[in-house]
Amino acid sequence: MKKVLFLITKSNWGGAQRYVYDLATNLPTGEFETVVALGGNGPLGAKLQAAHCRVVPIPSLTRDISPTKEWSAFRDIQEIVRSERPDILHVNSSKAGILGALAGRLVGVPLIIFTAHGWAFNEDRPVWQKLSLKILHWLTVLLSHRTIAVSNQVKMQMNWPFVQHKIIVIHNGRAIDNLFSYDEGRTFIINKEPRLREFQSDFWTMTIAELHPVKRHEAMIEVMKKMADSDVNVRHLIIGDGETQEMLRTQIDALGLQEHVFLLGRIDEASRYLRAADLFVLASRSEGLPYVLIEALQAGVPIVATKVGGIPEVVEDGVSGILTEPLDNKALFEAILSLIRDGDTRRRLAAGTVSEAKRFSLEKTLERTSSLYGT
């Protein structure tokens, strides 16, 4: 039996955390022993423990950048790796990636794998920060024995010397259990947000994503302002929490959209309620390969999303959704409006999600990852 130690910086409930959870709790128990070391105090740790997976907290591992904190986190990670003696160290996220890969090399872990869920240098940052982050990511790939890129686009973006041969593409996979029907989903959401009761029969768009600048929720709020000004009968639901929550609430209030845009906060297993939506929207400026789009495919909900990262590998334009150029709010508005008005196209795209969803099964992800582990 091989021991796999997963390492991740944040313990909130985003795509990278879902990835670690799915692997740690679904790898064959007769072949692998799994342990997860993580920073923060979010829901990931509790979910793992509920699934009987051992968790090792690392209080010193935070997203904040400080030489003192980095040194403390590195020493703690090195001690955990030395104590656990894993056969495989599987690191995730930027900080845990570089610190974990370096610690693994120094301790002598036989196999270090880094999963690139996306690259922080694609975010809206000063040029010097982008360059610094790309160097750190490059070093992480260099120190790791193999790197998993969650999309072909993520692999292509790490185009520096000596590392391309180390990178293999393994798409994320999902298996959603117990999806609620349209009526069940709407009933649950209305119970959570009673103001939606009078809009129960309206057209609903939905976004499930962390409230973070890269997700561009503010763009959808601007789109909803245009919808309201055009007397289009649509409500937009945002499920998630994060650092931009107050900014978004202020924007909604300033534009008078309290009855048009609803911040629902974090909902456990939010993907179960996807069928309550008539349309799923993701307006991100950058992405790796978003789980939530795979979940929308599996739920049979048509999609409007931006043409960034691995999104075109999930959503085929004109087959399961409509793709728009990033940062183009006008195109986003027009795509959504066209599907609100054209029920036939909306139903055709919903039907197209069924065949697309089959390409992203959790079983395929587990099989390919296990093979990389050397089973």
pLDDT in tens, 279-295: 999 999 999 899 999 99
Distance CA 65, CA 10 (A): 13
pLDDT at residue 129 in the model: 86
Mean pLDDT value of segment 241-253: 96
* pLDDT at residue 375, as a whole number: 59
Taking 90 as the threshold, does the pLDDT of residue 324 lie above it? yes
CA-CA distance, 304 to 296, in Å (whole number)? 11
pLDDT of residue 125: 83
β-pairing, 203-208 vs 234-239, is: parallel
Q: Note the pLDDT tens digit of each residue in 196-213.
A: 999 999 999 999 999 999
Confidence at 124, pLDDT banded by 50, 70, 90: confident
Average pLDDT over residues 291-319: 96
Least confident segment among 125-134, 237-246, 250-259, 322-331: 125-134
pTM of the entire structure? 0.87
Supply the pLDDT for residue 178.
85
pLDDT (mean) for 107-112: 98
Average pLDDT over residues 349-370: 93
Looking only at the bridges linking them, the beta strands covering 32-38 and 2-8 are parallel
Q: Give the model's pLDDT for residue 355.
A: 84
Pick the more confident residue, 328 or 13: 328
What three-state secondary structure class fits 345? helix
How much is the pLDDT for 212?
Answer: 93
Tokens 């994060």 belong to 242
Amino acid residing at 312:
P
pLDDT at 177 exceeding the cut of 80: no
Going from the N-terminus, what domains does the chain have, and what CATH number goes with each? 2-173+361-373 (3.40.50.2000), 182-357 (3.40.50.2000)
Give the mean pLDDT of 118-147. Answer: 90
* HSE of 289, CA atoms in CB hemisphere, 13 A: 25
Take residue 210 and report the two structure tokens written for it: 């962390």
Q: How far apart are CA 374 and CA 212, in angstroms?
A: 37
Place 102 in a pLDDT band, splitting at 50, 70 and 90: very high
- List residues bridging with 111 in a β-sheet: 88
Indicate the average pLDDT of the chain. Answer: 94
Cα separation, 284 vs 44, in Å, equals 23
- For residue 160, pLDDT over 90 is answered with no
The phi and psi torsions of 6 (rounded to 5 degrees) equal -90, 145
Q: Which two tokens stand for residue 127?
A: 């040029």
Predicted confidence at residue 79, as pLDDT, reads 98
In the predicted model, is pLDDT for residue 123 greater than 80? no
Between residues 367 and 14, the one the model is more confident about: 367
Burial 90-105 (b: 16+ CB within 10 A, else e): bbbbbbbbbbbbbbbe
Average pLDDT over every residue of 92-116: 97
- For residue 365, what pLDDT is reported? 96
pLDDT for position 119: 84
Report d(CA 102, CA 107) in Å as an integer.
Answer: 9
